[in-house]
Amino acid sequence: SWRGQEVPLDEAIVRATDTDAYINRRYSRQNNLESVCLYIAYGVKPRDLMPHRPEVCYTGSGWTLMDRNSAELPLSDGMKLPCSTFQFSRGALNTKKVVLLDYYIVDGEYCGDVSLLRSKAWRGAGAIRYVAQVQVVASVTTNLTADSAARVVSAFAAESAPLIRRLFESAEESQPSDDGRSDANSTLGGTGSG
């Protein structure tokens, strides 16, 4: 029931994230009463994705962390999606609030934070074939409370996670490029920065 559209991402942000490819889309349903932004950063260099965590990047951009929770969402394929949900606010008089759900896919395995990414990175070069960071964000508005926004990002994440994981499995199965890596940009439809 979600309808999506591409959202252009500022080139300065793309360069700052050091990703090999990304997806940035807005999805809505119920006549736009429920809306989320989906951002997926794909990389083969874990050291480039590990520092770009919501609690680092959002607070570094002027947002205040109000709340953080960990959860495991049940998925339609019987798996569980470990994830972290954050609530950020910004501004004094006209306060903006967002709820952000974040998780990683490391070589086809879901992870709610960077712990799996770090443990595989410590094993040495070649231990990680790919990593993706997935963020689902909803703005808190007069029509959507923080609790409602948390339910919306959780519902979207649970519905989309198996599809996103299959997308990366397809990227891995694609033919390697001249440098021996999968051509993530063409498979994911994203724009690479490096």
**Could you read off the pLDDT of 110-168 as tens digits, one per residue?**
988 776 666 666 655 556 778 889 999 999 987 789 999 999 999 999 999 999 999 88
- Number of helices (H) and strands (E) in the chain: give both, helices first: 6, 8
Which pLDDT belongs to residue 124? 58
Place 57 in a pLDDT band, splitting at 50, 70 and 90.
confident
The Cα–Cα gap between 191 and 16 comes to 14
Residue that is written with structure tokens 């919501």 in the block: 54
CB-facing half-sphere around the CA of 158: CA atoms within 13 A: 15
Mean pLDDT of the chain: 81
Q: Are the CB atoms for 82 and 98 separated by under 8 Å? A: no
Token digits of residue 27: 């999805």
Place 53 in a pLDDT band, splitting at 50, 70 and 90.
confident
Token digits of residue 123: 């094993």
Q: Which of 103, 106, 127 is nearest to 116 (CA)?
A: 106
Q: How many CB atoms neighbour CB 133 within 10 A?
A: 25
Residue that is written with structure tokens 């700052």 in the block: 16
Q: Is the pLDDT of residue 176 over 80?
A: no
| 101 membership: H or E segment, kind and range | strand 96-106
Q: Which of 182, 162, 69, 156 is nearest to 110 (CA)?
A: 162
Q: Which of 66, 57, 42 is nearest to 150 (CA)?
A: 66
112: three-class secondary structure by DSSP? coil
Q: How many CB atoms neighbour CB 147 within 10 A?
A: 11
Is 56 buried (19+), middle (13-18) or exposed (0-12) by CB count in 10 A? Answer: exposed
The Cα–Cα gap between 183 and 103 comes to 23
